[in-house]
Amino acid sequence: MTQKHRSISLIVIHCSATRVTQDFTFEQLEACHLARGFKSIGYHYYITKDGVVYPGRPESEVGAHARHYNAHSIGICYEGGLDKNGKPADTRTPAQNQSLYSLLESLCLSYPDAEILGHRDLPNVHKDCPSFDVKRWLKLVDFHI
């Protein structure tokens, strides 16, 4: 359902839950989501290891990335999140970190009241996603808007 003016209170960061040794392109992610029955990619943005930010669903459309929170959130996913053995790990590259920071800066200008958090930080979510502590990272990089 497309809405012209969605009320956005959350920006939720995810990982693709793929191994650091595996490439997982935007096209592969989209195919995975279509195979799961989504009408399109569930995230609004996808950041590959080289730092390229791919737009997914338009921000005006409700995403499919955080059950019970999609209606009022923007979803960002980065490629990775698992070590070479398949265990949760912060696998973000410097390019991904820079792109994520810049994307968050831009989104916070559009949605100044939105809270930024990881998927695992949502109430009643029992996941490791995005495999790093978002609040700690935001403090570490001195993120302010």
Q: Is residue 1 part of a domain?
A: no
- Decide if 127 is catalytic: yes
- Decide if 43 is catalytic: yes
For 55, the token pair is 């737009």
Contacts of 30 (CB under 8 A, 6+ apart): 40, 41, 56
List the catalytic residue out of 46, 69, 111, 129. 129
Mean pLDDT of the region 100-111: 95
- Decide if 68 is catalytic: no
What's the domain range around 75? 10-140
Q: Is residue 3 part of a domain?
A: no
Q: Is residue 145 part of a domain?
A: no
Mean pLDDT of the region 2-22: 87
- Decide if 129 is catalytic: yes
- Decide if 14 is catalytic: yes
In the chain, what percentage of residues exceed pLDDT 70? 97
| 43-to-13, 30, 34, 87 alpha-carbon distances in Å | 10, 9, 12, 23
Q: Is residue 2 part of a domain?
A: no
Mean pLDDT of the chain: 94
Give backbone dihedrals phi and psi of 28, rounded to 5 degrees, phi first.
Answer: -65, -40
List the catalytic residue out of 32, 54, 101, 127. 127
**Measured distance CA(77)–CA(89) in Å, rounded:** 15
Q: Is residue 17 part of a domain?
A: yes
Query: What pLDDT shows up at residue 144?
Result: 75
List the catalytic residue out of 15, 33, 43, 111. 43
List the catalytic residue out of 14, 33, 44, 65. 14
Domain tally, the chain: 1
Query: What pLDDT shows up at residue 1?
Result: 33
pLDDT reading at 80 higher than 60: yes
List the catalytic residue out of 33, 44, 65, 119. 119
92: domain CATH number? Answer: 3.40.80.10
